[in-house]
Amino acid sequence: MSSLHIAPSGVGSTARERIRTVVLTTHDELARHVAARMATVIRAHHGGRHVVLGLATGSTPIGVYRELIRLHRDEGLSFRNVVSFNLDEYWPMSKESIHSYHRFMWENLFSHVDIDPANVHIPDGAWPRERMDAACAEYEAQIVAAGGIDFQLLGIGKTGHIGFNEPGSGELSRTRLIHLDSITRRDASADFFGEANVPREAVTMGIATILQAREIAILATGEHKSGVVRRAVEGEIDRAVAATFLQRHANTTFYVDEAAAADLTRIATPWIVDDVQWSDALELRAVTWLAKQMNKAILKLTEQDYAEHHLSSLVSRHGTPGAVNGLVFNALGAKIRGKSKLPRNLRVICFSPHPDDDVISMGGILRKFVENQNDMLVAYMTSGNIAVFDHDVRRYMDFLERLDGEGVGDAPRESRTERRAAGALADTVRTFLDRKRPGEVDIPEVQDIKRIIRESEAVSGIEVMGLGREHARFLNLPFYQTGKVRKDPIGPADVAIVTALLREIKPDLIFVAGDLSDPHGTHRMCKEAIDAAVEEVYGDGSIARPQIWLYRGAWQEWPVTEATVLCPMSQEELTLKIQAIFKHQSQKDSMPFPGQDEREFWQRVEQRNKATSAELDRLGLAEYFAMEAYVIA
């Protein structure tokens, strides 16, 4: 099948791709593109029979639904002629539950458009087990009676599942009750505040049902989906990866952002499948890749190595292998910047999406910037309060009561009225926590206590780096303050807060989280707010833009070929960074949202920073104990 690529970074043939794949630059561009296609399908049926949409849930389709809502509101796109069938639902699950897909769809789409409620079909998480087979058969019959699905929207799970068709699902499968894979349940644990709360079963459309749709769009965003995207698009059809069955559908398109497309052959190693137009960046990637393939240092690569791996044109361009090797070796070496090569005496804002991303992702360079006498401000964009366990709140309540009731040293005891106030707060909190259901939104008092816990830990963390309370600013952006894992979209109020900070501080340099793989999308949304604020403040060119340094680290690191700056750390500096991470006690030992990586953050950091330095060592560059990576945007 032919493929379309809409992104500046992709070069090379699509010959290995078995599903038509469209690569778009950003998550928002992808959402607009897919929503526009859906709008075209809806409008094409205007005045005729109903158009039948198959719909998906999850974080990726939300952007599509928001764009459909905008098209309805601003451009008159009507849903009166739409019949919808959702892919799946957890079981058992009440429609009113905060976790139900029924509630998700009404909150994120149906309540905002003019669809007839009678035309909405979602598998019912309350179907009794003894009626399950009959209910699933009836759901299939309803799809047939509606004329079949015209456009099916899909996401893809980390196991390659579509809907809840887990590994082992067959091509002839239909709507049914299915046991959820352990990886799927772990991936959903963030929404349920713990894997133990995730249902073990779900109702899902089958592979055969999905493949009968006239057109299919499957979406993927983020670095963490790049591996499964390549497996689905380029791999053999395999029951272990349900998405591979889409290769047999004549009208399927995979829509991915650049991060999710990174492992596709045409983007990762385009020289394998086609002639390429060499650039400095592509040469760097190719030679580094070749060194890894050969398990050699860059300066030891030979002409035969290049010839055997489709890279002879690169040697021809520079004359000799030694010339190519030297250029790439020097380019990588130029990225390494110790303290003496880092900025001094600048005004710097470090934007931290959560109250620990600063020390987790850039603790090494943060300390060096402090030592270089830069004027530092760490701006914590969200409270991170949903990531605090209830037992931490109980512990702090007990401490507060003891302190309030017993006093400290020779200090006078507080009044009976004040003691009653503290006791009343503790009673309110304990009463709520005792009856709280898994995933229930905390009452304001509990949300505030959790916020204060994270703020105090953040201050303690930057004190290890040589900063104080006065260097911390807690922005508490409104989009995060839902009390739920799922957040509101970034709005004008969020952008205004960041804009005001930029105008106040007038930074010469800002650090921004550039990793988009955190489980609930907060990093991406925070970057969206910063990008909008930067454009508002500096867009007309009247004020010089600050340098923007993008960091990663909590979920993955920049590859050495993409990084602009590689910041080395000694053993003592890495130890100091880990000590700062330890100050975040509410995130220590176990975390509410660990993602697929069960290691603690300090363990991830230690291994990732050491791995970056070890990679440079294997490539033949100087050996360092550990290293952080940054991209200057």
Which sequence positions are flagged as catalytic?
Answer: 166
d(CA 364, CA 444): 36
Residue 232, amino acid = A
Angle between helices 571-582 and 601-618 (to 10 degrees): 160
CB atoms within 10 A of CB 219: 25
- Give the chain's length: 633
Nearest to 382 by CA among 499, 480, 510: 480
Q: How far apart are CA 359 and CA 461, in angstroms?
A: 7
Which one, of 361, 365, 387, 389, lies nearest residue 376 by Cα?
365
One DSSP character per residue, 344-381 reads: -S-EEEEEESSTTHHHHHHHHHHHHHHHTT-EEEEEE-
Q: State the Cα–Cα distance between residues 42 and 27, nearest whole angstrom.
A: 23
**DSSP assignment of 427-447:** HHHHHHHHHPPTTPPPPHHHH
Distance CA 627, CA 567 (A): 5
Please enumerate in sequence order all residues whose Cβ is within 8 A of that of 598, keeping only pairs 6 or more positions apart, or say none. Answer: none
Tokens of 7: 């992104």
What is the Cα–Cα distance from 348 to 376, expressed in whole angstroms? 5
Cα–Cα distance measured from residue 198 to residue 189, given in angstroms and rounded to the nearest whole number: 6
Cβ(299)–Cβ(524) below 8 Å = no
* 290 vs 305: CA distance, rounded Å: 8
Any residues with CB less than 8 A from the CB of 461 and at least 6 apart, and which? 355, 356, 358, 359, 580, 581, 583, 584
Residue 100 CB coordination number (10 Å): 20
Using the CB atoms, write b or e for 460-482: b if 16+ within 10 Å.
bbbebbebeeebbbbbebbbbee
DSSP state of 505: H
Cβ(580)–Cβ(465) below 8 Å: yes
Distance CA 247, CA 249 (A): 6
Which residues, 6+ apart, have CB-to-CB distance to 612 below 8 Å? 557, 560, 566, 626, 627, 628, 629
> What is the C-alpha R_g of the chain?
27
Quote the CA–CA distance of 197 and 191 in Å, as a whole number.
9
Extract the tokens encoding 390.
């209830």
99: Cβ contacts below 8 Å, ≥ 6 apart = 90, 93, 191, 192, 439
**Distance between terminal CA atoms of the chain?**
35
